[in-house]
């Protein structure tokens, strides 16, 4: 099955390649009706399909972007990607998905390959490594937007949840429901990953705002593998908390696992609130009060910011941080 090229079409239609190209790019302005019809027919007869690669080489645009997430298996990432893909589809762009798994080396390899493939821009959940590499890209005015995580020293548009507010609202909700012994359960704080640190801050701010003494023992963080024993310890403190804020869906999962194992009653024995909406929030008994991220809006915003950068040639050096509002979904768990 020999590939048919623009030269074949030109020859069969008895015109030049240039003319066929004009036709393909809908520049009919000065094209004779007959010529147009002849080309159109020839294309159909030969089953010609333009090779976009060749066009991209010439035009310096591939109409594809890269998206680097930590792990597509995380619900938030999936939703963000879906939103990105939707806005890309409208503009006839395609998206290449990369899982960096929080490994800077993987991230680096992807960035380099994506550039080598000449993608028009990149949206990334940055690992926090590769600062120099990103700085180079920014300096070269390469379109980049960050999402979910803020990296010091890299001047590029960033889309973020108002994490402090999310945690603040969570604590506030607990306080309003009569709790004052409120613990925070978080993934590890090492590497100072933005959402984790900001949510911790929001928790502390709220505690202070509501004049609750800060109890360091109530702040627990750790890897999934140690979560069960950490919760066990927390619950068996001399002065145990009466409510727990799970700062993301994975931690919430661990908490619910513990609760089930120990047959604790929510909210009577322990109040629970989680940041991140979860699929089973409504069907769980009791239904789970959560703070949702507007993940689709955030993904769409990231995509739109990227397109603005792609489409405007001039260098606009105003890197901004776009904060999105969390939404409290009150249910029955606290």
Partner DNA sequence: CTGAAAGCGCTTACAG
- Which residue, 139 or 236, has its beta carbon nearer to a copy of itself? 139
44 lies in the site for a copy of itself, by CB under 8 A:
no
**Contacted entry of DNA, a copy of itself, none for residue 284, CB cut-off 5 to 8 Å set by kind:** a copy of itself
- The values of phi and psi at residue 39, to 5°, are -65, -45
Q: Applying CB under 7 A, does 89 fall inside the site for DNA?
A: no
Q: Which of 40, 41, 45, 59 touches DNA (CB under 7 A)?
A: 59
- The alpha helices in 152-248, defined as continuous H runs, are 163-176, 194-209, 224-235
Cα angle: 60, vertex 63, 69; to 5 degrees: 115
Based on the shown chain and the rule CB under 8 A, indicate whether residue 53 belongs to the binding site for a copy of itself.
yes
Q: Is 92 in the site for a copy of itself (CB under 8 A)?
A: yes
The span from the first CA to the last CA of the chain, in angstroms, equals 66
CA distance 266 to 23: 67
* Residue 51 contacts DNA per CB under 7 A: yes
Contact characters 1-20, a copy of itself, x per CB under 8 A? x-------------------
Q: How many residues bind a copy of itself (CB under 8 A)?
A: 51
CA atoms within 13 A on the CB side of 122: 24
Site string for DNA, 17-36 (x = CB under 7 A): xxx-xx-xx----xxx-xx-
Q: Which of 46, 133, 253, 264 is in the footprint of a copy of itself by CB under 8 A?
A: 253
A 10 A CB-CB count for 125 gives 22
Q: Quick one: 50 or 286, whose CB is closer to DNA? A: 50
Give the shortest CB-260-to-a copy of itself separation in angstroms.
5
Pairing of the two strands 327-329 and 289-292:
antiparallel
321 binds a copy of itself (CB under 8 A): no
* Bond prior to 170 in cis (omega within 30° of 0): no
Residue 90 CB, shortest distance to DNA, in Å, is 21
Q: Is 114 in the site for DNA (CB under 7 A)?
A: no
Nearer Cβ to a copy of itself (29/92): 92
Is residue 15 at the binding interface for DNA, with CB under 7 A as the rule? yes
Query: Cβ 143 to DNA, closest distance in Å?
Result: 18
CA-to-CA dists, residue 114 to 151, 217, 283, 332, angstroms: 20, 45, 42, 46
DSSP 131-161: HHHHHHHHHTT--EEEES---TT--S-EEEE
Closest separation in Å from C-beta 265 to a copy of itself: 11
3-state secondary structure of 307: helix
CB-CB neighbours of 176 under 10 Å: 11
Q: Is 119 in the site for DNA (CB under 7 A)?
A: no
Tokens matching residue 271: 């109040």
Q: State the residues that interact with DNA by CB under 7 A.
A: 3, 5-7, 14-19, 21-22, 24-25, 30-32, 34-35, 48-51, 54-55, 57-59
């Amino acid at each position: 099955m020999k590939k048919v090229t623009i030269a074949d079409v030109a020859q069969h239609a008895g015109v030049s390649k240039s003319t066929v190209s004009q036709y393909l790019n809908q520049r009919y302005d000065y094209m004779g009706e007959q010529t147009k019809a002849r080309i159109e027919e020839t294309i159909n007869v030969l089953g010609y399909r333009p090779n976009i690669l060749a066009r991209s080489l010439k035009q310096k645009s591939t109409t594809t972007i890269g998206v680097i997430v930590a792990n597509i298996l995380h619900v938030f990432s999936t939703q963000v990607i879906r939103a990105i893909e939707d806005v890309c589809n409208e503009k006839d762009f395609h998206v290449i998905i990369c899982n960096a798994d929080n490994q800077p080396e993987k991230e680096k390899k992807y960035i380099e390959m994506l550039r080598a493939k000449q993608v028009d821009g990149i949206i990334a959940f940055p690992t926090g490594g590769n600062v120099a590499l990103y700085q180079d890209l920014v300096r070269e005015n390469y379109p980049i937007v960050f999402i979910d995580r803020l990296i010091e020293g890299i001047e590029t548009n960033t889309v973020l949840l108002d994490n402090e507010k999310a945690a603040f609202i969570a604590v506030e909700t607990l306080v309003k429901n009569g709790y004052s012994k409120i613990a925070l359960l978080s993934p590890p704080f090492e590497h100072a990953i933005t959402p984790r640190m900001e949510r911790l801050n929001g928790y502390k701010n709220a505690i202070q705002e509501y004049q609750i003494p800060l109890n360091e023992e109530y702040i627990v963080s750790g890897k999934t593998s140690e979560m069960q024993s950490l919760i066990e310890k927390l619950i068996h403190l001399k002065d145990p908390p009466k409510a727990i804020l799970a700062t993301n869906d994975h931690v919430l999962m661990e908490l619910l696992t513990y609760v089930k194992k120990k047959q604790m009653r929510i909210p009577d024995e322990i109040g629970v609130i989680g940041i991140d909406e979860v699929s089973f929030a409504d069907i769980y008994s009791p239904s789970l009060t959560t703070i949702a991220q507007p993940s689709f809006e955030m993904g769409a915003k990231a995509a739109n910011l990227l397109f603005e950068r792609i489409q405007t040639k001039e260098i606009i050096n105003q890197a901004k941080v776009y904060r999105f509002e969390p939404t409290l979904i009150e249910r029955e768990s606290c």
